Structure 1
């Protein structure tokens, strides 16, 4: 085998290896055991914040495409669970893809708390968030919903994390990217609102070299009614707005419009 043929074959093997490694779901139980010894036996675990247990349904992992030697892990740490109410932290971990040892970890206290609106899914967002020169962030999207048919609510929020050496930290927390909701008669008639956002990294470098972010939102309001025996949209309006997010001393500040009332 000549050098060219060998190089092509080696490249192919590496690509296959990375493609297989990208789906880390089969390794998830082992990754959780590595990060939380004793959890597989159903033991209640303990850290500096007190007792907790893992939610396997809300634990996900993904090989970081831009840095395939690293694997990202997001886990829900359940603190309290009662009827219709619960407290839960989000822990984000970065592991070595080969040895599966922990490189860095970071806990977001109470980020996954719920009451009438609960967390039903997590998603690791590995879009190339180049917030400043030499740095690359990744995101965790938290999906929430309620259980009401006449008054449905859905929401997806985004948090961004930055790995520097062996330190993982949050640079953006809880930015609502998508939401929808409304009130209807469960058959047709009702009013609905849907909002979708797109996050853009601008060219303007602000504090500490972090680029300003621009959230572009599209908001659609509609009214449905039964017309001639068919359910149709009888009124619809679309509004587009933009919000600029600037980096403060530690993280990006959310627009005042996103502050809870």
Structure 2
């Protein structure tokens, strides 16, 4: 028995069937299908007919757009589009060899079908009787190459004012660009969509990109960036410009660049409102919104003259400075990287969020910064939450780096702290890679062994050396010895030692 065939009401993207060896045909016919004798004389509405209830067995004629032939079911299907609907018609013969997008005149009818596995159930579905090609879809590449090529960056602000004369509006064929995928109601009466302008841009060798302007009725105009795969199928699209003249309250413009589009949305009301969104164009053609943090970090990388692919993305750190318009950002630049090893240069900046520029920066080479990961893994870079008052009216911020050893029987952890202050347009490192916390051990993996933990506390005094407050350093060193008792339990002895020292500023850094 055969499966129940369902008329699809959701528009889908189907594979474009092209065969170099196929012999195209303009007309197909099938043997007359005997209509069930006990069928009702009326049938529910079909997406292929606007005539209301239709009669069983009566042959109807319609114009549709061909999508594909599907022989994956017990009953073979010819899939077509009509308006916003996609319909599957039973056609149990060979592939008709039409091309996706072909305009067809079809004759079809409703007849009975008993689904596989349920012989008692009688269903009624569309059957294809004949089909004739009446128009071919223009090829995507032909229409794509006919569009003018523009170089980036491009300010996209197409509006009604861009079309002063009637001849300013072009008549762009929507079929090759599959605009009914972008606008689901493209073929529905009353919507009056019309593609009136467009151009192509080079974003990648892996996909094609066009910018098309569509007039929606008499009062709206939309411009979309659309990315297509190399076969002409839509990958993704984004509205990048908008204008309306019904009330004139809303407008969108954008800046198109190589791998991003910045969209500005403007509301012309009494209150007034303006917002900006940044979208990243991925290497696969997908368009996704960027977070504020991503936008900020990308801008910093650009201002530093670095390449994004040379940044250790997982170790980037940032922190908004309280009660200010500034953000601290740490950018680790890859110098060398293998599967088990990497070394990094240090870039630390203060970024003014209002001015959108770097105001202070610090650089240190991998040769001196200890930002190396090997058997002792560099696991994280953090901007400390607390600020350190290092002299009158001056606070330092801290950057900490954590390292972990990978050995189970010789575990290791080290937490380094560095302090920085602003000076003119620079950041000055006043405390360099101080071992603030350290944990190490040597044991048998079960019980016996020795463990040592070192923890540090800073106390800033009012004593001053070279204009900076002295720091009292209090260290707590805990040494733990694990041993196995006579009855096989694991027990331990603990010894705690405390040390105090003072760090003084020598004119360059604390020592």
Scaled to the shorter chain, the TM-score interval is 0.7 to 0.9
Output the CA distance in 2 between the equivalents of 1:38 and 1:244. Answer: 39
CA separation of 1:38 and 1:98: change in aligned 2, threshold 3 A: closer
Which secondary structure state, in structure 2, belongs to the residue aligned with residue 248 of structure 1? coil
1:170-205 CA-partner distances (Å, limit 9, x unpaired):
111100100001111122221100000011111101
1:214 to 460, 468, 472: 472
CA distance in 1, matches of 2:462, 2:329: 30
Separation in structure 2 between the aligned mates of residue 97 and residue 35 of structure 1, nearest angstrom: 11
Secondary structure of the 1:173 match is strand
User: Where does structure 1 differ by over 4 angstroms across 4 or more consecutive aligned residues?
Assistant: none
Match of 1:248 in 2: 506
Alignment match, 1:62? 319
Instruction: Name the counterpart of 1:224.
Output: 482
5 Å-filtered alignment, 1:21-32, equals: 26-32=291-297
* Structure 2 unpaired stretches of 5+: 1-289
Quote the Cα distance in structure 2 between the aligned partners of 1:157 and 1:27.
29
Q: More helix by proportion, 1 or 2?
A: 1
Contact 1:155/1:178 (CA < 8 Å) preserved in 2? yes
**Cα distance in 2 between the residues matched to 1:200 and 1:71:** 26
Secondary structure in structure 1 of the residue aligned to 2:447: coil
What's the counterpart of residue 108 of structure 1? 364
For 1:25-64, list aligned pairs within 5 A: 26-37=291-302, 45=307, 53-64=310-321
Q: Relative to 1, partners in 2 of residues 1:250 and 1:148: Cα closer, same or farther, differing over 3 Å?
A: same
Q: Following the alignment from structure 1 to structure 2, what is the Cα–Cα distance between the partners of residues 137 and 144?
A: 23
Higher relative contact order (Cα pairs below 8 Å, separated by 6+ residues): 1
CA separation in 2, counterparts of 1:75 and 1:186? 38
Displacement of 1:38: 10
* Cα deviation digits, residues 65-89 of structure 1 (max 9, x gap): 2x43211111211101235433212
Please state whether the residue corresponding to 1:36 is helix, strand or coil. Answer: helix
Deviations 1:44-69 (A, max 9, x none): 739xxxxx81111100111112x432
- Give the aligned CA root-mean-square deviation in angstroms: 2.4
The 5-angstrom pairing of residues 132-143 of structure 1 reads 132-143=391-402
Alignment deviations for residues 70-115 of structure 1 (CA, whole Å, 9 cap, x no partner)? 1111121110123543321221111113343211111122221233
Q: Deviations over 1:131-154 (max 9, x none)?
A: 111211100011011111110100
Q: Does structure 2 conserve the Cα–Cα contact (< 8 Å) formed by 1:178 and 1:195?
A: yes
The change in CA–CA distance for 1:185 and 1:100 in structure 2 (over 3 A counts) is farther
TM-score (norm 2): 0.40
Question: Which residue number corresponds to residue 191 of structure 2?
Answer: none
Q: Report if the CA contact (8 A) 2:303-2:358 is conserved.
A: no
**Would the alpha carbon gap of residues 44 and 36 (structure 1) be closer, same or farther in structure 2, given more than 3 Å must change?**
closer
Supply the distance in 1 between the matched residues of 2:349 and 2:507 (Cα, whole angstroms): 23
User: Separation in 2 of the partners of 1:103 and 1:44?
Assistant: 17
Secondary structure of the corresponding residue to residue 136 of structure 1: strand
- TM, length-normalised to structure 1: 0.76
Larger Rg: 2
Aligned CA distance change for structure 1 residues 166 and 241 (closer, same or farther; 3 Å): same
Match in the other structure for 1:257? none
CA distance in 2, matches of 1:243, 1:125: 23
Partners in 2 of 1:75 and 1:230 — Cα distance?
49
